[in-house]
Structure 1
Amino acid sequence: MTKSIESRLIIVFGLLILIVMFISSFFIIDRVKNYFYEDMQKKIDFMVNSSLVQLLQDKDLKRSELQNIIDQTMKESQYGFMINKLIVTDSQGKVIASFPRLSISFFPSDEILNSLSGYKVIKQDGERQILIFSYPIKDGKVVQRALYLEVSSQNVPGTVRDIKNILLMAYLVSITFSLLIGLLFAKTLSNPLRKLTNQALKMADGNLDVNIDVNSRDEIGKLADAFAKMARNIKMYISELEFEKQKLERILQNMSDGVVAVNSKNEIIHINESAKKFLNGNIEDFINKMEQESHSDSDITIYTSGNLTLEVSRATFIDSYLNQGFIFIIHDITQQAKLDNMRKQFVANVSHELRTPITTIKTYSETLLDVDDEETKRHFLSVIIKECDRMTRLVSDLLYLSRLDSGENILNLEEVNLSELVRFVCEKLKIHAKKKNQTLSCSILQDVVAMVDRDKIEQVLINLVSNAITYVQEGGKINVVLQKEEDSIKIIVQDNGPGIPEEDLPRIFERFYRVDKARSRELGKSGLGLSIADEIVKAHGGRILVESKVGSGTTFTVVLPAKEVENLL
């Protein structure tokens, strides 16, 4: 059970007072007792030395005369009432006078013997409550007689007892007032401390706007001022920390990289929105995998979450349990991984596309060395030339794409009548459509003029229409439509061919991607035509849209901005 500072102060104050009173009482009573005994001794000494000894020194005095002197002295002396016994002996210890008169003739006490030897004796007998005095009575240097007195000291203990009672009453009154004063003092000391305690508890609960009302100039007042200053400083520091915390949280929440912090007990203490989006609810699986695969802060771990490829690095920190926690930094490298895969696939496709004609040229060239027939030689040389042309087209297309990727301005913008251009392309490719009994038609609702690169847009149209002619079955239909809308120009190439599978649609503009790889290679297609067309349209600020359904045909829509822009790149 805890005690308040008031009770402790009162107890300590009371104990100190009691100790002081006990010690002072002991010395006072002892001093009073000694005082009474010393007073009695002085009175008896005065009585004896002032008259009695002088009267008894006459050696010629007879016993009756000595007795009369004793009786007269006891009668006249103001201190006679104190004397219980008075004996005068000669030099042999025989009683020659006494009060009261004794029947004994000899009184050989130790005190008488010491006095007959010339010594004055004063002795206290506590049991009988008397003081014993023994005086030598000398004639010159010779002891003639001895005077023995027994003085009652019974009134001394009573007086001391009365003094004790008086002191006890005084002490009771004193200690009562002292305790009251101590209580008031304790309250004046504890009240400010109690206020400080209450304010400190409020501060501990987070209320730093406390008013510490302690009107004191002493150490407690200084302590209250220190508390007030501490509260102001803590409030200022907390405000700064809150600001920094909010700033840090805002930074973390708006980071494009994901951040996940876990403590030593695998409890998530922070996760930002990017991390939630990347992990898509698989946070526990992510943490378990990171624990298995990460061994040091320098480790980089690749983690796959759905369609995302994530690069994860980690750092350690000391958590609130004084153990090691981890911070995982998640970087989305999906696009980079995709580009890396595309780059690898691109290199592989280029290698494959070049290897086929090179192999064909090498084979036919080696065979030519052993062929004597002119017609066969001519056939082999035509195959070699055809493959060389194929390699040339492939390299030209690659160089053109490289120029587009580098951001080089390859457009020669001019005012072009797109209606005439579409008609020109259709007329130019109709001969190829007739070879497959296909119907190639143009639907031009109005003349449309735009700032474009004529050759590049012609290349796009030729690519789209020739692809339709190539892949649409014999007897199929191809329709090219030119129309102008409010803010755009649309060139639509529509066919009723076999269509493109839905899973292939997102990839048809990728380089070297073919829906029907075997047939495309037989037809001499490199897989770069749509990629080049898409890049050209993008360079004009437009886009190519595609809609297709297997068995229902395909529709390509070239969308160009209708505004005349001088610098489109």
Structure 2
Amino acid sequence: MRLGVRGKLFLVSVIVIFAVALPSGVYLEITLRNWLESRIEDDLVRFAKVVGDALQRLPADADGAAVDDLADALGHSMGAQVTVLTDQGQVVGDSTRGLSPSDFARESLDREELVGARNDGYGIAIRYSPELGAQMEYVAIPAQAAGRNLLIRVAMPLSEVDQLARKLRFSILAAGALGLVLAIFMSGLSSQLIYRTVRHLIEKTQAIATGEKGLRVNVVSSDELGGLAGSINALAEALEMQVAELALERDRFIAVLNGMSEGVIALNENKRITVVNQAAMRLLGLTVSPVGKTLLEAVRIPALAELFEHQAADEAQSVEFDSTGRAPRRIMAQISARRAGVDSVVVLHDVSELRRLETIRRDFVANVSHELRTPVGIIAGSAESLQEGAIEHPTAAQKFVEAIARNAKRLDQLIADLLDLSRIEAGRQRIEPQVMPVAPAVRKAAEAIERKAADKRQKIVVRCDENLIAQADPKALDQILFNYLDNAVKYTPEGGRIQVSAELLGDRVRIEVADNGPGIPPKHQPRVFERFYRVDPGRSRDLGGTGLGLAIVKNLAEAMEGQVGVAPVEPHGSSFWLILPGAASKLGGVA
């Protein structure tokens, strides 16, 4: 059965009344009961303390009869049950038992209120008393009297709480019945008033739905029905606004497309371009919008046209090609799966940098394989020669053993450098720049390489301001300086000169290691910091280089927000430099 407006209003009114009255009644009853029980508990605590004070005033030789008389008197005056027990559970006084103290039974100490009094100094419990036939609230506290440890328990019936709860329930039911009667009356009155307005709205809305133009609903009130009438009147105007908003949304869509770094091309079922963004035109080298043309008409890239021809219905497909123009790029085109009635979308990604990095990775793997294969081959060949009889010839055996040791050391250094480089590039090596003096680090590196330089009769000169400080990681700076100096000693001829200097350039610190060795040709200088790059591969291997030292230097410097580079020294030689962030001040006298 369908309910009309009147029926719905009546039903809602009844539901609201019950939804409000029932929880409110339950809440009020619980709140009132809790308040009354709390008040009774406070009274019982006060009564128990009064009993305790009275017991303390008894003479030291008072017997059980005196205690029982006191319990009877106080219980009668308070209107409560007063029980006095020893700490062993023996009842020595009770205001409700018509027995002499000698006839009192032992009370169980497991009762909740007695356990609380003994353990916590205060106990409370609510339970039904078979003796009194009523729900009782008990409060117990410990006390001392006549040289004995006692427990005082005071109890009162909760009948008053039950009576008030019953009265409250009756009041709530009466109020609910009255509210129900009022709901019937008010729903009938309000529904009659609303029905006429609703009927008018229905008639006018149906007329508008048939296509009548210029028809408006008269706003008859300022309430929700009046708002509904205004909404209906605004419907025609809203249609025009929606058309304008659709145009705005299209403009926003085009703005988002043109703001993307990826190229986007949409094609309809006739294979003609409907949408193209600026990134796609840039990647494809287009200067005129290709909208309305086919892909093959717009760009002479067979791979792209073929991608659309072989478009699958179940999954996206992709193809890579090189764009044309003055700056060719490697482009990956991905086309969406074919769906009936929906334009196909081609997304163009510039993967030039990604492919370049992949090439670098492949070259790196190949170089690592080559660099590892050389010392391993020498070690294997030398060992094989020793096995075949060279060990019987001391001179030849010594030569092969030295080759094994030398290449094993080189292999160990190569692996160590590879691990260092991998750790640095992966960000697993902690680089923590801090304010530090430069001069001690420079002297430390020079002293570490001094013996190696002395073997070649080389002179190391240090020129560094003792007060110069920089933002650097101490361990990383030590590794960079040692690598620079080690290379300088390796490639500088005997009797050569190596100079280490440091200076402040604006807010940066420049550290330089210069030598008068053979130098580095200009065509090699931009690549010396690449992995495994050698100016003279044969000579570098003979000197024990792994080809990774300068790559490690570059990564460490960049991790400290620094820069590295190389410059020629006239008339011959090389200068490797490091630029680090300076500090805001200088350390006075620190070296």
TM-score when normalising by structure 1: 0.52
Q: Is residue 241 from structure 1 mapped to residue 246 from structure 2 by the alignment?
A: yes
**Structure 2 gap ranges (5+):** 1-206, 217-232, 291-297, 586-591
Match of 1:271 among 276, 290, 315: 276
> Residue deviations 1:179-234, cap 9 Å, x none?
xxxxxxxxxxxxxxxxxxxxxxxxxxxxxxxxxxxxxx9999934559x9886344
Between 1:296-305 and 1:263-272, the stretch displaced more is 263-272
> Residue deviations 1:463-499, cap 9 Å, x none?
2233344445677664432012342221123456555
Q: Which residue of 1 aligns with 2:394?
A: 374
Letter aligned with residue 245 of structure 1: R
Q: Is residue 313 from structure 1 mapped to residue 334 from structure 2 by the alignment?
A: yes
The residue correspondences of 1:128-207 to structure 2 (distance < 5 A) are: none
Between 1:506-515 and 1:410-419, the stretch displaced more is 410-419
The residue correspondences of 1:97-496 to structure 2 (distance < 5 A) are: 222-225=212-215, 232-261=237-266, 269-281=274-286, 284-285=298-299, 287-294=301-308, 295-296=310-311, 298-305=316-323, 306=327, 308-315=329-336, 327-369=345-387, 370-371=389-390, 372-411=392-431, 416-429=436-449, 440-450=460-470, 452-471=472-491, 478-495=498-515
1:513 to 1:280, Cα distance in 2 relative to 1, 3 A? farther
Letter aligned with residue 530 of structure 1: L
In 1, the alpha carbon distance for the partners of 2:256 and 2:370 equals 48
In 2, the alpha carbon distance for the partners of 1:268 and 1:548 equals 56
- Is the contact between residue 528 and residue 550 of structure 2 (CA under 8 Å) also seen in structure 1? yes
In 2, the alpha carbon distance for the partners of 1:318 and 1:225 equals 43
- C-alpha displacement of 1:506: 4.4
Q: Aligned to 2:535, what secondary structure does the other structure show?
A: coil
1:381 to 1:476, Cα distance in 2 relative to 1, 3 A? closer
Q: Which residue of 1 aligns with 2:547?
A: 527
- C-alpha displacement of 1:367: 1.0
In 1, the alpha carbon distance for the partners of 2:500 and 2:284 equals 46
1:497 to 1:279, Cα distance in 2 relative to 1, 3 A? farther
- Is the contact between residue 446 and residue 483 of structure 1 (CA under 8 Å) also seen in structure 2? no
| Residues matched between the structures, number | 346
> Residue deviations 1:141-164, cap 9 Å, x none?
xxxxxxxxxxxxxxxxxxxxxxxx
- C-alpha displacement of 1:237: 2.0
Q: Which residue of 2 aligns with 1:560?
A: 580
Q: Is residue 510 from structure 1 mapped to residue 530 from structure 2 by the alignment?
A: yes
In 1, the alpha carbon distance for the partners of 2:499 and 2:285 equals 45
Q: Aligned to 1:222, what secondary structure does the other structure show?
A: coil
In 2, the alpha carbon distance for the partners of 1:292 and 1:353 equals 43
Letter aligned with residue 361 of structure 2: R
In 1, the alpha carbon distance for the partners of 2:535 and 2:484 equals 15
1:264 to 1:542, Cα distance in 2 relative to 1, 3 A? same
TM-score when normalising by structure 2: 0.50
Between 1:332-341 and 1:410-419, the stretch displaced more is 410-419
1:513 to 1:397, Cα distance in 2 relative to 1, 3 A? same
Percent identity, aligned pairs only, is 31
In 2, the alpha carbon distance for the partners of 1:391 and 1:220 equals 91
- Is the contact between residue 267 and residue 273 of structure 2 (CA under 8 Å) also seen in structure 1? yes
Letter aligned with residue 305 of structure 2: E
In 2, the alpha carbon distance for the partners of 1:304 and 1:550 equals 44
- Is the contact between residue 502 and residue 549 of structure 1 (CA under 8 Å) also seen in structure 2? no
Q: Aligned to 2:240, what secondary structure does the other structure show?
A: helix
In 2, the alpha carbon distance for the partners of 1:314 and 1:281 equals 20
Q: Which residue of 1 aligns with 2:115?
A: none
> Residue deviations 1:60-107, cap 9 Å, x none?
xxxxxxxxxxxxxxxxxxxxxxxxxxxxxxxxxxxxxxxxxxxxxxxx
> Residue deviations 1:432-477, cap 9 Å, x none?
5576676654332443234533333122112223334444567766
- C-alpha displacement of 1:288: 4.4
- C-alpha displacement of 1:513: 2.4
In 1, the alpha carbon distance for the partners of 2:351 and 2:569 equals 33
In 1, the alpha carbon distance for the partners of 2:317 and 2:208 equals 62
1:221 to 1:412, Cα distance in 2 relative to 1, 3 A? closer
> Residue deviations 1:361-394, cap 9 Å, x none?
1111111121202333232212111111111111
- Is the contact between residue 472 and residue 580 of structure 2 (CA under 8 Å) also seen in structure 1? no
- Is the contact between residue 258 and residue 329 of structure 1 (CA under 8 Å) also seen in structure 2? yes
In 2, the alpha carbon distance for the partners of 1:233 and 1:476 equals 88
In 2, the alpha carbon distance for the partners of 1:219 and 1:233 equals 15
Q: Which residue of 2 aligns with 1:159?
A: none
In 2, the alpha carbon distance for the partners of 1:357 and 1:412 equals 36
> Residue deviations 1:327-348, cap 9 Å, x none?
3211122232222222211211
1:550 to 1:500, Cα distance in 2 relative to 1, 3 A? farther
In 1, the alpha carbon distance for the partners of 2:300 and 2:426 equals 38
Q: Is the radius of gyration larger for structure 1 or structure 2?
A: 1
Letter aligned with residue 565 of structure 2: L
1:399 to 1:326, Cα distance in 2 relative to 1, 3 A? same
1:274 to 1:545, Cα distance in 2 relative to 1, 3 A? farther
- C-alpha displacement of 1:544: 1.6
Between 1:506-515 and 1:493-502, the stretch displaced more is 493-502
> Residue deviations 1:378-434, cap 9 Å, x none?
322121111111111111111112221332243476664311322343354456557
1:293 to 1:524, Cα distance in 2 relative to 1, 3 A? farther
Q: Which residue of 1 aligns with 2:144?
A: none
Letter aligned with residue 365 of structure 2: V
Letter aligned with residue 445 of structure 2: V
- Is the contact between residue 303 and residue 309 of structure 1 (CA under 8 Å) also seen in structure 2? yes
Between 1:294-303 and 1:355-364, the stretch displaced more is 294-303
In 2, the alpha carbon distance for the partners of 1:395 and 1:482 equals 32
- Is the contact between residue 307 and residue 318 of structure 2 (CA under 8 Å) also seen in structure 1? no
> Residue deviations 1:101-134, cap 9 Å, x none?
xxxxxxxxxxxxxxxxxxxxxxxxxxxxxxxxxx
Q: Aligned to 1:385, what secondary structure does the other structure show?
A: helix
In 2, the alpha carbon distance for the partners of 1:413 and 1:230 equals 66
Q: Which residue of 2 aligns with 1:188?
A: none
In 1, the alpha carbon distance for the partners of 2:248 and 2:470 equals 55
Q: Aligned to 1:525, what secondary structure does the other structure show?
A: coil
- C-alpha displacement of 1:353: 1.0
Letter aligned with residue 529 of structure 2: F
- Is the contact between residue 317 and residue 327 of structure 1 (CA under 8 Å) also seen in structure 2? no
Q: Aligned to 1:256, what secondary structure does the other structure show?
A: coil
